């Protein structure tokens, strides 16, 4: 399944800035950043549960907000990008 993760972490304190970095690190393990606080992830149901659990442990629910949207597939058919497209095709083979 394809998931869009968006977050708004309160960064008014140093602890908030640390939470922001930790949330981004969790998201990087599961997908790619497409905007500063937006990630596209391709996960199965088990990975989705791991992602949600990891994010729950990083945020302060009284100050932060995360939203996870399941994207309609195939995403390319329902996606319009205006401006710079910074993403790579997660379905394509990765050559290092």
pLDDT at 90: 61
Nearest to 59 by CA among 49, 51, 71, 70: 51
Q: Which pLDDT tens digit goes with each residue over 6-49?
A: 999 999 999 999 999 999 999 999 999 999 999 999 999 999 99
Q: Can you list the domains of the chain with their CATH numbers?
A: 2-78 (3.30.70.240)
Question: Rounded to whole angstroms, how far apart are CA atoms 94 and 14?
Answer: 36
Question: Rounded to whole angstroms, how far apart are CA atoms 13 and 10?
Answer: 8
pLDDT at 72: 75
pTM of the model: 0.78
Helical pair 45-58 and 14-30, crossing angle rounded to 10 deg: 170
């Amino acid at each position: 399944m394809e998931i869009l993760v968006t977050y708004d972490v309160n960064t008014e304190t140093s602890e908030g800035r640390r939470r922001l970095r930790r949330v981004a690190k969790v998201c990087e393990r599961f997908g790619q950043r497409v905007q500063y606080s937006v990630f596209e992830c391709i996960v199965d149901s088990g990975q989705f549960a791991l992602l949600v659990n990891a994010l729950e442990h990083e945020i302060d629910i009284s100050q932060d907000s995360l939203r996870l949207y399941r994207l309609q597939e195939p995403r390319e058919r329902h996606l319009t990008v205006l401006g710079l497209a910074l993403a790579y095709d997660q379905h394509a083979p990765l050559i290092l």
